[in-house]
Structure 1
């Protein structure tokens, strides 16, 4: 018995499967996720440059200059974000509300009372609020 021949290669079907699998990819948060998005954009820029490459020296020089400027900006951005991540690792890993929740958790672990919701503006007729006193230790 002869085996059925494999289906011919269909590029449209291949691209459809690739985009479906890409939708399930979730980039990490924080500096790594932002850098990943930037790197994908840079790959896209260089892909367009290579796709638009011609025999015209002026056009090619302009495309190359645009690509080098974009790459330089990306390299500068990555270096500054990595330096920020080294100085502030918690902020670099977490985003926005997650960082605030982490700080609240960190304060509770240290024994500080939970934060209360307050009005952002103060009433000038009232005295200023008292400072939060840290809890006393047993030996004090």
Structure 2
């Protein structure tokens, strides 16, 4: 099975209250099986704003989210890497493909690039104090890479 095509990358806002894209959108066929990115426990499976959402808590304080998904899991279910969690629903705002999975990752209130879990996230070396470098704005989400 080939990896899904990334149609929109992680683009966190410079400040937590501003607009941004706090995950990645992955193109796939409608009804495609969606699987857990790692071992964990389902902490939410239901609708948010009319879309099916599944959230999984992982060891080390990480949490992944998947939407729009028709869940086949329930809160409290324990998952292993690759366990099915549901089926991808068609349509996702801002996605030109027939179906896109919005996949998110966070640690506490800090959103992270979920592609880093696959070794595909953008890596930038930034000063530890977060100072701008060569005119670029250092953003917290760019500097951290989660360890699963």
Question: TM-score band, normalised by the shorter chain?
Answer: under 0.3
* TM-score normalized with structure 2 length: 0.21
Greater percentage in strand: 2
Larger Rg: 1
* TM-score normalized with structure 1 length: 0.22
Greater percentage in helix: 1
